[in-house]
């Protein structure tokens, strides 16, 4: 059956970028405001789920040639690696630190190593959620 969904496809091509931008904003505002790696990862994965809904699996895999299981594994590795790095420097596991730096454009910026941990959490959430959705939707 030939279906006509031009409006849905055209809207999705714009809305996906809005959702991805909002996910990154949630991820970056997680230090002092509502947000963080988990919620940012969930919003990013909802953008991927919208792509899988509107287009089919083969088209999306042609555009995004990543294996999402490997992304989840890399996220776990990054999150654990920040904890082990603290052990290497002589403090206890998962100790986080920060430092004030004077960057040329941004001025006085506070750089924290918890951002790396949150990036690992976000990658893990994206990989696991997209893998779950694809596994459920298979075999109909």
Partner 1 sequence: MIETMLKLSLILFSITIAIAVIRIIIGPSMPDRVIGLDMIGVNLIATIAVISIILNTKAFLEAILILGILSFIGTIAFSKFIERGVIVERKHDR
Rounded to the nearest angstrom, the gap between the alpha carbon of residue 85 and the centroid of all alpha carbons in its chain is: 22
Shortest gap between Cβ of 128 and partner 1 (angstroms)?
A: 17
Structure tokens at 29: 């505002």
Q: Name residue, tokens 């031009």.
A: 6
Candidates 35-43, 63-71, 80-88, 115-123; binding stretch for partner 1 (CB under 8 A): 35-43
The percent of the chain in helix, strand and coil, each rounded to the nearest 5, is 65, 10, 25
Cβ proximity to partner 1, 105 vs 140, nearer residue: 140
Determine the 3-state secondary structure of 27 from DSSP: helix
Structure tokens at 119: 């990036």
Position 67 contacts partner 1 (CB under 8 A)? no
Q: Is 20 in the site for partner 1 (CB under 8 A)?
A: no
74 touches partner 1 by CB under 8 A = no
Instruction: Read off the tokens for 28.
Output: 């970056």
Beta strands in the chain (DSSP E): 98-103, 107-112
Residue among 28, 71, 73, 133 that touches partner 1 (CB under 8 A): 133
Task: Considering the complex, state which of residue 48 and residue 117 has its C-beta at the smaller distance from partner 1.
Answer: 48
- Binding-site member from 49, 71, 76, 116 for partner 1 (CB under 8 A): 49
Specify which residues 101 forms β-bridges with.
109
Q: Is 55 in the site for partner 1 (CB under 8 A)?
A: yes
Residues that bind partner 1 (CB under 8 A): 2-3, 8, 15, 19, 22, 26, 34-35, 39, 43, 46, 49-50, 52-59, 133-134, 137-138, 140
């Amino acid at each position: 059956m030939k279906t006509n969904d031009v409006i849905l496809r055209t809207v999705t091509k714009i809305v996906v970028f809005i959702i991805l931008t909002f996910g990154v904003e949630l991820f970056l505002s997680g230090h002092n405001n509502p947000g963080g790696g988990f919620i940012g990862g969930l919003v990013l994965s909802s953008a991927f789920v919208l792509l899988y809904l509107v287009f089919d699996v083969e088209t999306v895999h042609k555009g995004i040639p990543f294996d999402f299981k490997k992304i989840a594994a890399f996220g776990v590795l990054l999150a654990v690696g920040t904890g082990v790095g603290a052990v290497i420097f002589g403090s206890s596991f998962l100790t986080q630190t920060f430092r004030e730096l004077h960057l040329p454009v941004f001025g006085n910026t506070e750089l924290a190593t918890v951002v790396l941990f949150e990036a690992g959490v976000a990658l893990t959430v994206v990989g696991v959620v997209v893998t779950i959705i694809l596994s459920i939707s298979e075999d109909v």
